Chain A
């Protein structure tokens, strides 16, 4: 039996415990903004969206407007680049104040969901990755702009860039980033192993990796970004595309990723690990980790986004500046090259009170002139840029590789349940790579879950 003060302390402690638990429950469920009734865009939001879709005029000239824009923290189109583009935009639109917010890619999707889901979102313009339009359209987060796209965009921009902007044939975003993973290699390590040209097929990659390993200069010739994140899906997609897997889910919603190219790619990735050709640390490596690893000079080959070339060769941080070269991503069999579609688009939200101005700003950021501001870190999505000697002169090899790859990029599935599918595939691919399941078993297990995702 406890005494009086003890009982009081006990009660206080108990109350504290309950309060903390309650606070956690509240935090754990803080999607409360999306209540049963609030998951739909508000009437005002719908009105704004309708206004944009019907071609509503911009706000009265001179009216002070503030646009909140959600972007991605990255080397290409960095904070500084965007500030410069915005300054140029403000020359003709002095009344528009742009408030950009930059978040890491891995936080971008969840930031959009938490900020916009309640229908009272704060952003006017958001950056959307290739597989997201389907789910965001279905969730009522982004506005259709099919009839607002200028003709020069339709004809001048690479077809692949539109994938990140379209769903069911309608346009919901202005393409802004057109990217894919390129093949980077350490020229010296390959030359030392007697290899005189970059491999053109994944079989050649495997053979070259064995030659480099046999030379003994490095323990693992390959490093990859296979972390349980979107990174591993992008690499698997790219290799799957090379092995003939350009579709992952058919029109009826049946799984295709557990056969053909998807399965072959996963088996190949596992084989590279079993043969000691790829560093097992790849399973916790992001694209940034891969850049850092390549810059140590201890790896011969990798795949990565455009910006990686500059980072790996940066004289300030790389031990092998100038040694890292770029080539088109390897193909296999009849596939000459392949690339995962890493495009992103700028989408006007359904909650924007200034959809016309948000679209104007997006079109300005995506214009040919703006796109050619930072060609060292990001490739323009305009076809004409690739024919301009002024634009391509600093890195003709990269532009040459891109011109080939951009014609046949493969998209991750643009389906409303993409994030669920991606999460399941990330874990399944890693289970196979760790040897916990066979590649067939891992992918078949995800295929069996598809009906649950689609409900």
Chain B
């Protein structure tokens, strides 16, 4: 059957559907879903963000134009939560990328139990985020957590550290939990990129006298740049809107030390009943993410990926 005869005959005299109609029919269900779960809520949220909607004042919802956006952009709590999100995003993305690259290089080696290594490495990523967060909250518990027990028994610390109770350590502990979970994801993507590199390039470089570091720097890194940028784009967007792992581990505390912008938005909308402000915050987060994505896309273009 050729592409031009794909359409279902409509009765004896009817002509086959044009190819574009068939294509549209195939796309329609997915397009409908996107319309229902993305476009309509997006439009509705945009509409809501222009009103002062508080659930505790039903029926009193004046149009305020861009005031909800202005309120948030001049609110120190908002900018504080943005800076927390940026810190979390920068540190987790850098660590996950570095460790993921190292793990991918290791898994790319012709080791005897490579299949086992790959299976074990992927386990943290396979865990649901909620389970991961609960597990790390238990590990980091300052009174009976296993991290304190391990460090005390090995002589690293003398007194138990309340990891999640200090503003100086709480954010690092949620970073650690996220890195533990998401590094395998980065490693698997980078490994796929590594396996696409022609091995003859390595052999030729060695014949020319290149060492391992030079091969890594001159061949592997340049050829992996496109995949690395994709990993960075994906992780940056995910990390910036992090919610679940922090919500479970610290609830945004202590003293808002781990309150990222998504947690701030959640509190505004669902705990304070302020849906107008919540909708504006959702859009501000989306704009931040799109700006970050635009920067990366520009970088991607430069690399020719």
Contact = CB atoms under 8 A, between A and B. Distances in A.
Interface string A3-18: 1001001100110011
A281 B142 contact: yes
A296 interface: yes
**Could you tell me the dominant secondary structure of chain A's interface residues?**
helix
B61 A36 contact: yes
Contact of A293 (B56, B143, B254): B143
Contacts, number: 218
B139 interface: no
Nearest to A427: B256
B166 A21 contact: no
Contact of A113 (B57, B141, B270, B283): B270
Given A282-B165, A423-B271, A416 B143 contact: no
B48 interface: yes
A420 B162 contact: no
A293 B262 CA distance: 31
Given A25-B283, A26-B45, A279-B142, A284 B56 contact: no
Contact of B141 (A9, A140, A281, A283): A281
Contacts of B241: 24, 28
Contacts of B167: 434, 436
Interface in A98-140: 106, 109-110, 113-114, 117, 135, 138-140
A228 B250 contact: yes
A18 B48 CA distance: 21
Contact of B304 (A2, A279, A280, A416): A2
Contacts of B283: 25, 29
A419 B255 contact: no
A34 B57 CA distance: 12
A32 B160 contact: no
A2 B299 CA distance: 12
A139 B56 contact: yes
A377 interface: no
Interface string A142-180: 000000000000000000000000000000000000000
A186 interface: no
A434 B254 contact: yes
Contact of B286 (A28, A417, A431): A28
B143 A28 contact: no
A341 interface: no
A140 B58 CA distance: 8
B300 to A, nearest CB: 7
A299 B143 CA distance: 10
Contacts of B297: 10, 13-14, 17
B142 A280 contact: yes
Interface string B270-305: 111101001101110110011001000100110011
B59 A39 contact: yes
Given A13-B297, A139-B273, A284-B170, A36 B51 contact: yes
B55 A436 contact: no
Given A39-B61, A139-B55, A280-B142, A30 B41 contact: yes
Given A18-B290, A423-B267, 11 more contacts: A24-B282, A26-B37, A29-B278, A31-B275, A35-B48, A36-B53, A110-B271, A283-B254, A419-B271, A430-B254, A433-B255
20 contacts: A9-B305, A18-B293, A19-B34, A21-B237, A24-B285, A29-B49, A29-B282, A34-B55, A35-B47, A39-B59, A39-B275, A227-B254, A284-B163, A284-B170, A284-B254, A292-B144, A299-B143, A419-B271, A419-B272, A431-B255
Interface of B: 34, 37-39, 41-42, 44-45, 47-49, 51, 53, 55-59, 61, 141-144, 159-160, 162-167, 170, 230, 233, 237, 241, 250-256, 262, 265, 267, 269-273, 275, 278-279, 281-283, 285-286, 289-290, 293, 297, 300-301, 304-305
**Top 10 closest A-B pairs, CB basis?**
A281-B142, A228-B253, A28-B282, A29-B45, A29-B282, A25-B286, A283-B165, A430-B255, A284-B164, A281-B162
Interface of A: 2-3, 6, 9-10, 13-14, 17-32, 34-36, 39-41, 106, 109-110, 113-114, 117, 135, 138-140, 219, 223, 227-229, 279-285, 289, 292-293, 296, 298-299, 416-417, 419-420, 423, 426-427, 430-431, 433-434, 436
